[in-house]
Amino acid sequence: MSVAIDEVVAIEHPPEEVVKTSMLLVLAGFALLGAVVLLALFAWASQGERNGQPDVFGMRVTVHEVAERYKAAWSPGVFWPRDAFMHTKRSEVGSPLYKIAWTFLVAWFVCVAFYLIFAGSISAIEVFREKAHLHAAMCVAAALCLCAVWPVLFRIGSRSELHPDPAEEEGAATSAVVAAAATTATKPTAPLAVSTHSTTKETFLWISFVVLLIAAVFAVVGSALIQAWTLPGPQFGTLIFLGPGYGLFAGWLLFAAALNLRVAISYNSYPSGTLPWPETRTEYTHRGSLWPPALALVIACIAVLIPDPAIPLPALIAFFLFTPRKTSHLAASAICLLGFVVATVLVVWKRSN
User: What is the per-residue pLDDT across 187-215, written as a single tens digit (0 to 9) for each?
Assistant: 444 444 445 678 999 999 999 999 999 99
| pLDDT at residue 82, rounded to an integer | 74
Phi, psi of 19 (to 5 degrees): -120, 155
> Is the bond preceding residue 312 a cis peptide, omega within 30 degrees?
no
Q: pLDDT: is 15 or 37 the higher one? A: 37
Phi, psi of 338 (to 5 degrees): -65, -45
Residues 6+ apart with CB under 8 A from 194: 167, 170, 171, 174, 175, 272
Tell me whether strands 127-128 and 18-19 are parallel, antiparallel or unpaired: antiparallel
Q: pLDDT: is 117 or 86 the higher one? A: 117
Residue 76, pLDDT above cutoff 90: yes
Residue 180, pLDDT above cutoff 80: no
Cα(188)–Cα(337) distance, rounded to whole angstroms?
Answer: 41
| pLDDT at residue 288, rounded to an integer | 67
Examine residue 174 and state whether it is found in any structural domain, yes or no. Answer: no
Examine residue 275 and state whether it is found in any structural domain, yes or no. Answer: yes
Q: How many domains does the chain have?
A: 1
Using an 8 Å Cβ cutoff, are 275 and 292 in contact?
Answer: no
When pLDDT is cut at 50, 70 and 90, the band that residue 175 belongs to is very low
Using an 8 Å Cβ cutoff, are 319 and 335 in contact?
Answer: no
| pLDDT at residue 230, rounded to an integer | 86
Residue 176, pLDDT above cutoff 50: no
Examine residue 254 and state whether it is found in any structural domain, yes or no. Answer: yes
| pLDDT at residue 250, rounded to an integer | 97
Residue 353, pLDDT above cutoff 90: no
Examine residue 340 and state whether it is found in any structural domain, yes or no. Answer: no
Cα(297)–Cα(312) distance, rounded to whole angstroms?
Answer: 9
58, 125, 217, 221, 348 from 249: Cα distances, Å: 29, 25, 11, 11, 21
Examine residue 87 and state whether it is found in any structural domain, yes or no. Answer: yes
Examine residue 60 and state whether it is found in any structural domain, yes or no. Answer: yes
Q: Which domain holds residue 203?
A: 22-161+195-288
Examine residue 312 and state whether it is found in any structural domain, yes or no. Answer: no
Single-letter code of the amino acid located at 29: G
HSE (side-chain half, CA atoms, 13 Å) at 195: 8
Q: pLDDT: is 350 or 207 the higher one? A: 207
> Is the bond preceding residue 151 a cis peptide, omega within 30 degrees?
no
Q: pLDDT: is 304 or 70 the higher one? A: 304
| pLDDT at residue 187, rounded to an integer | 44
Cα(71)–Cα(90) distance, rounded to whole angstroms?
Answer: 9
% of the chain surpassing 70 pLDDT: 78
| pLDDT at residue 278, rounded to an integer | 55
Examine residue 178 and state whether it is found in any structural domain, yes or no. Answer: no
Least confident interval from 173-182, 226-235, 278-287, 342-351: 173-182
